[in-house]
Amino acid sequence: MGTRYELGLNVDDLVAIDTHVHVEVDDHGHNALSDVLVNAASKYFKTDGPRPGLDAIAEMYRAAKMAAVVFTVDASTSLGHKPNSSEEIAEGAARNNDVLIPFGSVDPLQGKAAVDRARMLFEDYGVRGFKFHPTLQNFDPSADAFAPLFETIEQMEVPIVVHTGQTGIGSGLPGGHGLRLSLSNPMLLDDLAARFPALQIVMAHPSVPWQDEALAVATHKANAWIDLSGWSPKYFPANLVRQANSILQNKVLFGSDFPLIAPDRWINDFAGLELKDEVRPKILKSNAMRLLGLDA
């Protein structure tokens, strides 16, 4: 077993908590996605910027006085591609525990092995939550087959971040590289939230083309949240901004989707939204503190 992560944040010194940061390239130069998918995503997001390693990510967030939730996505079965190591991400976060918070990732298609791996990442490495991408991992999160995995995570009392809506991964490729957008409809997470009421579920990204569905789920289910990653705030749907400024102001989270969107660009564009003064700090930090148990 490697170094177990322990929180070392001084939240009073932070200006924001970025709840959605990908570690795309590990310390060995391995990318979590194949070159074909990396290139498609870069074209979709109109970026070919660097994919820094964990320590470089920590330095960037430290300089910005932000904390970051860091993770990879284990889609080894569906993609036939070796994922980055959640163990190494947890160990790297432990080296930088003043600014980094590690989430684990397991491949749901691996059944009991995924359950055992989730338990190991939590107990031995101290991950503080888990990341899922139903389209990339090719699974329906509402299906009975995956209930044991989510029941186990619910018992850990840590949140999950689940991709919703459109994805740049596979975009523009023949057949979308076989990836199915329908698996990332937030209504599948409504089923999950109903079944596991103590499981905190973060619906990642503005959920186009299902934004109204995501807003309905977040309004109806006390255990459903929305992160605002993957889009510049200046492109947010009007209904998302309106509800983030009102009935969902305590359930919406800052997330950048770094490295595809830089946190400083996101923050600058966020400043242009018409939001109440009391709502901004909730989205930037205090909602994430509550979700992650940092306000105790």
The domain limits of the chain are: 11-291
Report yes or no: 32 and 72 within 8 Å, Cβ to Cβ.
Answer: yes
In this model, does residue 171 exceed pLDDT 90?
A: no
| pLDDT at residue 257, rounded to an integer | 95
| pLDDT at residue 32, rounded to an integer | 65
| pLDDT at residue 183, rounded to an integer | 98
| pLDDT at residue 30, rounded to an integer | 62
More confident residue, 40 or 293: 293
More confident residue, 43 or 281: 281
Q: What is the pLDDT of residues 202-225, one digit of tens each?
A: 999 999 999 999 999 999 999 999
**What's the average model confidence in pLDDT over 128-151?**
98
In this model, does residue 170 exceed pLDDT 90?
A: no
Helix, strand or coil for residue 252? strand
Q: Does domain 11-291 have CATH number 3.20.20.140?
A: yes
| pLDDT at residue 114, rounded to an integer | 98
**pTM for this predicted structure:** 0.94
Task: Report the DSSP pairing between strands 16-22 and 100-102.
Answer: unpaired
Report yes or no: 31 and 163 within 8 Å, Cβ to Cβ.
Answer: no
24 — pLDDT class (breaks 50, 70, 90): confident
In this model, does residue 1 exceed pLDDT 70?
A: no
Distance CA 237, CA 264 (A): 21
Give the phi and the psi of residue 44 in degrees, each rounded to 5. Answer: -60, -45
β-sheet with 201-204: strand ranges across: 130-132, 160-163, 201-204, 224-227, 252-253
Report yes or no: 60 and 92 within 8 Å, Cβ to Cβ.
Answer: no
| pLDDT at residue 33, rounded to an integer | 63
| pLDDT at residue 9, rounded to an integer | 96
Q: Which pair of tokens denotes residue 58? A: 């920590």
What's the mean per-residue pLDDT of the chain?
93
**pLDDT > 70: percent of the chain:** 91
**What's the average model confidence in pLDDT over 12-35?**
82
Q: What is the pLDDT of residues 38-87, one digit of tens each?
A: 666 666 555 666 678 899 999 999 999 999 999 999 999 999 988 899 99
Q: What is the pLDDT of residues 258-277, one digit of tens each?
A: 998 999 999 999 999 999 99
